[in-house]
Structure 1
Amino acid sequence: MHWTQWLTLGFQIMPLFFLAGGHAAGGSWARARAAGGTPAGWLGRRALRLLLPVAVYSGAVLLAVGVCTAAGVDADTLALVGWAMGMQFWFLPVYLLLSALTPVLYAAHLRWGARVPPVLGAVALVADVLVVAVHPPWVGLLNYVLVWGVAYQLGFCWRDGLLTGRRLVPLAMAAGGVLAFAALVALGPFPVSLIRVTGQSPSNTDPPSAAMLAWLVAQAGVSLLAAAPLRRLLDRERVWRAVRPVGAASMTLYLWHMLPVLVVAAAFYLTGLAPEPALGSAAWWALRVPWLLVLGALLAGVVRALRPLGRGLGVLYERTVPDAGLRGAWPLWAGLALAVTALARFAVRGFAPDGRFPVLPAVGLALGTVLVALARRTAAERLERPEAARAPDRV
């Protein structure tokens, strides 16, 4: 329904993920560098922390795809389910690329400070003009790094206090971003929806558009204004006790949140147990309440059931994590390239493209994860810089 597209202004929170990611990565890289860590060592540790749970999730989905393929499940149904289980993966290759670029981006931040995000944004605008006007192949892919890179770079600025010295700065970001978004939607070719709508062109997310960039700046400004009161709220022990477990389960929620949707849909709709009133009718809206409650309960059960797996992955991470002082080891870079390519493939085509098992992406993700886990410094490097191996790296 067209009017519900306005709700995406509140539901589209990916700018906040990249803003918080930049804030965390800037601090982590600054600490690692001060302790004698290297870019390769730092990146290997961060990449592995993401890739281990992703590999487990992907392995489970791929196993299900293989079983369903052997059982003769309808190819179109399998392709749709495989796409639904992989559509959130677009975030991972973008975030891994920004992580790989963090030492360079942070060096630019230390030299030019708050001037870097506007420059990235200007280049993104040029790329978006080309996408809308000329439709050149592959140019739009740049904006996945440029637009989300603006939020990532703003995270550096936030951490180092460049945006919080005066209240006027976040106010200007919030107001300017909202006004720019309104102008781009009213006068330009961009839709209001901040999620992809079938048949809608151009899209604000695929690739990220100038309108998404404007809303990103607005969200960052609002976040800066809200940060201080929210920190005071989180200082209350009861609130922190409630928030902390959700934060600890964030990766599980991110990876597995579509599973309850598919299970409940299959159990209630494919079997005819649930009524299917007309879309947008009063009965349809009334059914959203039990639908969300059932999904929430099932998701809570999934998260609880996966807790032992999370603890096991934590142990595996500590045993296989690359050394903080790792230098330019080829397994790390080769593994990262394979993993990014495979994750991008899953994000675009799903886990069962055309109803078939995706052999090459599956092998690429598995091999890439193993290579990142195998990255180590040589014995000579350990003897040369033993202090780096002992340096803590808070990821």
Structure 2
Amino acid sequence: MTRDRCVDFLRAWAIVSVVAGHWLITALEHGSDGGITAPELLADVPWTRWLTLLFQIMPLFFLAGGHAAGGSWDRARADGGTATGWVGRRAVRLLLPTAAYSAPVLLAVAVSAAVGVAPDTLALVGWAMAMQFWFLPVYLLVSALTPVLYAAHGRWGLAVPAALGALAVAVGTLALAADLPRVGLLNYLLVWAVAYQLGFCWRDGLLEGRRPPALALGGGAAFAALVALGPFPVSLILVTGEPVSNTDPPSVAMLAWVLTQCGLCLLAGPGLRRLLAHDRVQRLAGPVGGVSMTLYLWHMLPVLVVAAALYLTGLAPEPALGSPAWWALRVPWLLLLAVLMAAVTAVVRPVEAALVSRYERARPDVGRYRPWLLWPGLAVSAVALSRFAAHGFAEHGRFPALPTLGLAAGTALVLLHRRRTARPTKRQSWAALEEAA
């Protein structure tokens, strides 16, 4: 079993866990006015906040992502590749599926606003369809910084995540103590970059011996102390009414959880590799990794379908939120969403693959780059994606013209950073795509 197989599994598992967690805590009710309301399970049933310790495993995605990116960038440099080419390749692989998702959603928002859909309803739906977007600008920026981060790793090793962590603690403390929320936004990059940088260290064998248990125990003890002594909550996702959030932006407690989870993952690594050595297990896990981006982007669409079909019509049973009957209904709820998600994936995945294939044939990755288009395109795309993440696809029930323009312009600049050249065969373009992955 190669380590890459373990890394691929961790990335897929992280995405599936996030999707399952979102589905599990999503609650819908048929309102007295005929519309749909979405009560907040974590706010109304406080004990459920502990469940986020199981489902908030994005630290593993960044850990595995750093491991994979370190190897990919190392190979690219050995082959004479440039930062522009490598970063651009990864940006295209993120932005093309995002565009394939955002375009129909924004079209639906525009049509709904034009025909007079209630602004509150449109804002709720627009928020639901963009709730997962926080990850996209963060990962886009971390990926763009990989050449710099990896160079620092090569020179200073474990001192780099230690320094990033110390800076994240300082930023988080200052943001809370001085009530400077904008300063705290830096931790979106710093905290998740710690996990990403640990992925480099994992790949290069710097996290062996006593270091994984030290990470797990030290991080776990710090998290417990920060939650017990305050002011941090136990919930690892945003909960309405809590004065402090661990994720918006990532807090010092979230940093402690990142260290805990990374340490536990490294401790479980040998057993996981033995498990994944079995072909049957790999045949089950492998396909999920191939569609993980599709699952992540589209996983709230099945919720809206069920909402329209069963809750808007009043057909769905509605036991009290958090009651035993409500939890019992989570089983058919999750199964129904999984079936619908499989259908969505079957439709969407070929479209995404076709977009990538057409792009690779029109602008193959042969070293003819325009860096003055790529880097501004990344910046504009990150800002637009951040806006959608913060306010949804229909802020105040209106079509988001400026963020839409920004995402379109940023994506176009990134796509145009490759020059046109003689078209390769379809087989060559797919081979290049597989090599990039």
Structure 1 segments of 4+ aligned residues over 4 angstroms from their partners:
none
Whole-Å Cα distance in 2 between the matches of residues 324 and 154 of structure 1?
31
Q: Which residue identity does 1:33 align to in structure 2?
A: R
Whole-Å Cα distance in 2 between the matches of residues 245 and 351 of structure 1?
30
- Equivalent residue for 2:101, pick from 57, 63, 79: 57
Q: Which residue identity does 2:392 align to in structure 1?
A: G
Counterpart position of 1:109: 153
Q: Which residue identity does 1:40 align to in structure 2?
A: T
Unpaired stretches in structure 1, ≥5 consecutive residues: 380-389
- Equivalent residue for 1:159, pick from 196, 200, 203: 203
Q: Which residue identity does 2:310 align to in structure 1?
A: F
Q: SS of 2:185's equivalent? A: helix
Q: SS of 1:73's equivalent? A: coil
Q: SS of 1:21's equivalent? A: helix
Is 1:45 the equivalent of 2:89? yes
Shift of 1:35: 1.0
Q: Which residue identity does 2:293 align to in structure 1?
A: M
Shift of 1:91: 0.5
CA contact (8 A) 1:124 1:143 kept: yes
Q: SS of 2:239's equivalent? A: coil
Shift of 1:172: 1.1
Counterpart position of 1:383: none
- Equivalent residue for 1:246, pick from 288, 308, 314: 288
> 1:193-215, CA deviations, whole angstroms, 9 ceiling, x for partnerless residues?
00110111210001101110001
> 1:289-347, CA deviations, whole angstroms, 9 ceiling, x for partnerless residues?
11111111111111122232133133124225564645662111121111111101110
CA contact (8 A) 1:322 1:374 kept: no
Residues 123 and 375 from structure 1, CA distance in 2 versus in 1: closer, same or farther, beyond 3 angstroms? same
CA contact (8 A) 2:393 2:399 kept: yes
Whole-Å Cα distance in 2 between the matches of residues 321 and 46 of structure 1?
15
Whole-Å Cα distance in 1 between the matches of residues 52 and 104 of structure 2?
31
CA contact (8 A) 1:83 1:350 kept: yes
- Equivalent residue for 1:183, pick from 225, 228, 237: 225
Is 1:134 the equivalent of 2:134? no
CA contact (8 A) 1:151 1:216 kept: yes
Whole-Å Cα distance in 1 between the matches of residues 375 and 179 of structure 2?
32
Counterpart position of 1:123: 167
Counterpart position of 1:90: 134
Whole-Å Cα distance in 1 between the matches of residues 372 and 243 of structure 2?
41
Whole-Å Cα distance in 2 between the matches of residues 235 and 5 of structure 1?
35
Counterpart position of 2:354: 312
Counterpart position of 2:416: 374
CA contact (8 A) 1:170 1:225 kept: yes
Counterpart position of 2:376: 334
TM-score, reference length from structure 1: 0.93
C-alpha RMSD of the superposition? 1.8
Whole-Å Cα distance in 1 between the matches of residues 362 and 47 of structure 2?
49
Shift of 1:145: 0.6
- Equivalent residue for 2:212, pick from 166, 170, 182: 170
CA contact (8 A) 2:152 2:160 kept: yes
Counterpart position of 1:347: 389
Q: Which residue identity does 1:89 align to in structure 2?
A: F
Whole-Å Cα distance in 2 between the matches of residues 188 and 66 of structure 1?
44
Residues 111 and 80 from structure 1, CA distance in 2 versus in 1: closer, same or farther, beyond 3 angstroms? same
Q: SS of 1:138's equivalent? A: helix
Shift of 1:2: 0.9
Shift of 1:375: 0.8
Q: SS of 2:399's equivalent? A: coil
Counterpart position of 2:51: 7
> 1:329-388, CA deviations, whole angstroms, 9 ceiling, x for partnerless residues?
211112111111110111011111111111111111112111111113699xxxxxxxxx
CA contact (8 A) 1:329 1:377 kept: no
- Equivalent residue for 1:75, pick from 101, 119, 134: 119
Q: Which residue identity does 1:296 align to in structure 2?
A: A
Shift of 1:140: 0.8
